[in-house]
Structure 1
């Protein structure tokens, strides 16, 4: 694709504006944000003011269909609330004019909707779609992926991901306080980690067991007479086809943590760990023991803006831009099937908590 690649952003709340800032830092790569779509007036104004500070003039739409019809954009970033992704993506897929798409995680809030989007995309080989599972690009995580794929840990047997962090932020109209809108915490937040487990394991998930609850956060909140129903902590076990297992330890009232994410991958030869935001990786072997553990600093000199996700959103955009410019010669790194499976694991985990038993991926995919 020659010339300037024109971007439109659908949904310019906090994350939509974060995408705008990242795209500004890619302006030397031939990028311009030319339009935004959002029904929320205050979000529109914040996006317009931000764009003006970068010298960009935006066309503002209150709805995504008007933006799609405008013909102004080559690439659309979908960063609207989770429950709107399905309708927006189907409208994009069904539009006669092709648009490349970067859609925020989760792909959709239900497996059925994810599958419909995947099916619709098969009919549009003229479009590239990448799912925003950008944790793959965080430098320490990317380094750990490199270590695992390099084989120095041997055959992966166990994966443990701990996310101890702050509660969910306040969003427009408090949409993220309810499972019906988010898909549930283990879909909304944790599809990132299920995607990483699958990547480390090199295998697809078979069944899921989870335990979780609402123990601390949001219990005293009330919106239109309704109390939030999103869980704030959980343990999740995921079993994979090749016999490896992953475990997620999630706590969203653990601000007193040095790292927000700690990831450990153990093979039959060695162990690797990644720490975010310390941005270090530790690698050791059974033979080398404790004294042989190496500490590596994880950095990526391509990052021009760290932002909310430690540079991973910048690298995600850079990667997708290269796919767009390759005109079909380079597939997106994180495709719709990746997005579907990450949601399916989260849905199975949410269902496991509700039913108190293992839930198979076959159950939720059917």
Structure 2
């Protein structure tokens, strides 16, 4: 039985708790969550867990085998450094790893000295249709030359203290929301980015909101084009006022032999009952010869869909992370992976602000 300590039990932290409880060979030993409402909800999900008031108090619990950090983005590095200095347990850290360029050097130092495994929570890698697309992409395309990632979704959800409404705490939309997609680009194309161009804005959402006299400055739509060292190119299209779409994520990879797509619906809890059953994830294969689309449904276990908003990926991620904690597996999403995804997001933010190409 693996004992988790949870640092940050808001919306995403609670999704992690629900999925940990489904694993069968893991439990939540302790939870740190300063917001009373979120702490109460987390305690109801894991009544066996002790509620603690600080990271110090968490680290004194001898039964802990690993830690999950799912706190607001801007405190990740501080908390990782505190853990490193006191009791460096295996870590699963939510994305993005950091939010500002000056935190990158601190992360490098931590990466070189930390004696236990650190896994960055890039859940999108483990969504069943995306994982299947990645497995089949090379054979289907004959070598990817173009990759498109489109996310048409709902606006940012309400979070404690509205931290996700402001660039200073979230890193900006192209970091907070889109580092997942930049991670997928690197993973799928097996290459590193060399040039980024972006255009983005806040056109629809959150414009009438105000928190402590401040208006949200996060963007709600944008395009990002990325050139890779291999010569392949990728594009991200983000719209956060398009929750009426049947599929939330649509990935397309194209090469000389053909095209493969992954279609991923949004959270089932947002699907209107009046429209019937929620969409089933699928992949679509379109060879150039012989022509003709081939569709394949990729259903996800209903219990996993009920446990979170990420099409079962949080559960599969924890399965692999537990193998690492037990010394039997390897870290699949490293600190370097997480840092490079944030660097791409920060470059995209800079390009959209300045209107200039950013070279990496």
TM-score by length of 2: 0.92
Gaps of 5+ in 1: 362-366
Q: Could you tell me whether the CA contact under 8 Å between 1:162 and 1:250 is conserved in 2?
A: yes
- Counterparts of 2:20 and 2:34 in 1: how far apart (Å)? 22
Computed over aligned residues only, the root mean square deviation of the Cα atoms, in angstroms, reads 1.4
Instruction: Give 1:364's aligned residue.
Output: none
Give the Å deviation of 1:360. 1.3
Give the Å deviation of 1:304. 4.7
Pair 1:204-2:203 in alignment:
no
Instruction: Give 1:360's aligned residue.
Output: 359
Q: Could you say what secondary structure the match of 1:357 adopts? A: coil
Give the Å deviation of 1:117. 2.1
Instruction: Give 1:25's aligned residue.
Output: 22
Give the Å deviation of 1:153. 1.1
Pair 1:82-2:84 in alignment:
no
- Counterparts of 1:81 and 1:9 in 2: how far apart (Å)? 13
Cα distance per residue 1:269-293 (max 9 Å; x no partner): 111000002311011222222x2x2
Q: Could you tell me whether the CA contact under 8 Å between 2:123 and 2:317 is conserved in 1?
A: yes
Q: Could you tell me whether the CA contact under 8 Å between 1:36 and 1:59 is conserved in 2?
A: yes
- Counterparts of 1:272 and 1:114 in 2: how far apart (Å)? 35
Pair 1:297-2:292 in alignment:
no
Q: Could you tell me whether the CA contact under 8 Å between 2:119 and 2:335 is conserved in 1?
A: yes
Give the Å deviation of 1:74. 1.0
Instruction: Give 1:34's aligned residue.
Output: 29
- 1:8-19 equivalence runs, <5 A: 8-19=5-16
Pair 1:148-2:146 in alignment:
no
Q: Could you tell me whether the CA contact under 8 Å between 1:161 and 1:193 is conserved in 2?
A: yes
Q: Could you say what secondary structure the match of 2:238 adopts? A: strand
Cα distance per residue 1:213-263 (max 9 Å; x no partner): 010000000001100000000000011000111101100001110100001
Give the Å deviation of 1:189. 0.4
Instruction: Give 1:351's aligned residue.
Output: 350
- 1:26-175 equivalence runs, <5 A: 26-27=23-24, 30-52=25-47, 57-95=48-86, 97-125=87-115, 127-149=116-138, 151-175=139-163
Q: Could you tell me whether the CA contact under 8 Å between 2:320 and 2:329 is conserved in 1?
A: no
Q: Could you tell me whether the CA contact under 8 Å between 1:79 and 1:104 is conserved in 2?
A: yes
Give the Å deviation of 1:206. 0.7
Instruction: Give 2:176's aligned residue.
Output: 188
- 1:213-228 equivalence runs, <5 A: 213-228=201-216
- Counterparts of 1:213 and 1:300 in 2: how far apart (Å)? 34
Gaps of 5+ in 2: 266-279
Give the Å deviation of 1:299. 4.1
Cα distance per residue 1:7-58 (max 9 Å; x no partner): 010001111111110000012xx21101001222222121112212xxxx22
Give the Å deviation of 1:87. 0.2
Instruction: Give 2:272's aligned residue.
Output: none
TM-score by length of 1: 0.91
Give the Å deviation of 1:338. 0.7
Give the Å deviation of 1:111. 3.8
Instruction: Give 2:255's aligned residue.
Output: 267
Instruction: Give 2:288's aligned residue.
Output: 286
In the alignment of these two chains, the number of paired residues is 344
Q: Could you say what secondary structure the match of 1:156 adopts? A: coil
- Counterparts of 2:92 and 2:41 in 1: how far apart (Å)? 21
Q: Could you tell me whether the CA contact under 8 Å between 1:152 and 1:270 is conserved in 2?
A: yes
Q: Could you say what secondary structure the match of 1:148 adopts? A: helix
Q: Could you tell me whether the CA contact under 8 Å between 1:93 and 1:121 is conserved in 2?
A: no
Q: Could you say what secondary structure the match of 1:237 adopts? A: strand
